Amino acid sequence: MTDHERLPDPELFASGRMQRAVRLAGNRDLRADAAQLARLRRFAQADDPLADDVVAMIHAMPHGEGRALFEQALTSGIDAIDDPPAPLVAFFRDVEATPYWVDFDRIDQGARSIIRTGLLGMFPLGDMSLMGGYLASRAVKTLVSTGDLEHTAARRLAETASWWIDVTTPGALHPQGEGARAALRIRLVHAFVRDAMNRRDDWDYDAWDRPVNQVQTVGTLLLFSLVFLLGTQLLGIRYTQQEREDVMHLWRYVGWLMGVDDELLPGSEADAWRLLWLLATTEFIPDDDSKRLAKALLAQNANIGAGLGPLSGVVGSASVSLHAAISRMLIGSNNADYLGLPRNRLTDAAVRGIAGVTFAAETVRMRVPGATTLQQKVGELTRSHYLAQVSKMLPLDRSYSRSMDAPVDGAA
């Protein structure tokens, strides 16, 4: 095979459902060649120098001082600090230089399209984006190394959901908005994790690439954007082409805030599909660690019945079957079987039924004046209620200080 012959489809794109999704999205042959693949792989050795320098600055200062300066710059701007350290200036001056392609009206429109999915949009977040992400065995090494997601799955899932809500709220990604601050905090968390992994003596750079590298970060971005769109559509949600492009535009800007290289940021839905194909070829290769994290997520789904007495087992089992069925819709039977996801044909049929009913309701919504606006308001209320309920049950760390204060040395 020469460098310019197209490569075979990876496992994720071999299923009939994914092939149909590709065609419905207006794409044809997504296959890349070896030269394109090699160019992408170079980014697996790329970090985020601006954020990494800020972490080095924080480590060099007395405990708490560097983080306090970062938070002050985040909330009040870098000019609010007298004689700020050079790494902090470089980081925030870069963030302040908004790219020419950013359109905040389109970003807000994308946020409204996400909001109207309401709680239904939360299912693809965990069952498709997160479970699908576990297929990327190199990316999950940091999760397994810290043990945090495996042992505190409920809290981390809730914090991920709250972060997702922060960055997908209209107006939140404008300069100094809560969504923009949330994106930059997670960028710093990634730099802290990267620093921690680089200090370990057991990190296998040859097998796992650089920790929290550019390819892995943009892969996460695709899980929240393209995979979310695909997942909600599989569950019956309908979008116009412009709505899908606006959602992609929102996540392009989030990716830029999080330090993803411009070359990797998809400029359109079609670009995102081609990038997802490349990532499926090089990154979505599950291993035993993928199975461990999938098992932990299933266990969390089973816990939903806790406290219901005699019904706890029944409710927990139904929850696992439901979430597994939704996961299977995206990742395919072979990947689902490898991860140990149970299959229940009755639940599969129920999910298809729910999707059919949702599709019919969405078709009506698109034809009734004012229905879309009403659905957005309902979605906003359900998201707010979800956050309020979760906050009562779990101590959410929306500053992500726990992730930044984790130990940074020693082997596993």
Q: Do residues 156 and 149 make contact, with C-beta atoms less than 8 angstroms apart?
A: yes
Tokens of 161: 């959901």
CA separation for the pair 84, 137 (Å, rounded): 39
CA dist 283 and 37 (Å) reads: 11
124: which 2 tokens? 């693809």
**CA of 275: how far to CAs of 14, 32, 95, 166, 268, in Å?**
16, 9, 25, 25, 11
Q: Are 48 and 41 in contact (CB under 8 A)?
A: no
User: How many CB atoms within 10 Å of residue 297?
Assistant: 25
Alpha-helical segments (H) within 61-152: 65-76, 86-96, 104-115, 122-124, 131-133, 141-146, 148-151
Q: Greatest CA separation found in the chain?
A: 64
Contacts made by residues 300-303, CB under 8 angstroms, sequence distance 24+: 300/153, 300/154, 300/157, 303/154
Tokens 């498709």 belong to which residue?
Answer: 128
Question: pLDDT tens track of the chain, all 412 residues?
Answer: 566 788 888 887 876 677 777 777 777 788 899 999 999 999 999 999 999 999 999 999 999 999 999 999 999 999 999 999 999 999 999 999 999 999 999 999 999 999 999 988 888 888 888 888 888 888 888 877 766 555 566 677 778 888 999 999 999 999 989 999 999 999 999 999 999 999 999 999 999 999 999 999 999 999 999 999 999 999 999 999 999 999 999 999 999 999 999 999 999 999 999 999 999 999 888 899 889 888 888 888 877 766 666 667 777 788 888 888 888 887 888 888 889 999 888 898 999 999 999 999 999 999 999 999 999 999 999 998 888 887 777 777 766 666 666 544 443 3
* CA distance readout (Å), 79 to 161, 307, 386: 32, 52, 37
Task: Report the candidate in 349, 354, 338, 213 with the shortest Cα–Cα distance to residue 282.
Answer: 213
Q: Which of 316, 295, 318, 321 is nearest to 306 (CA)?
A: 316
Place of tokens 């790329």: 46
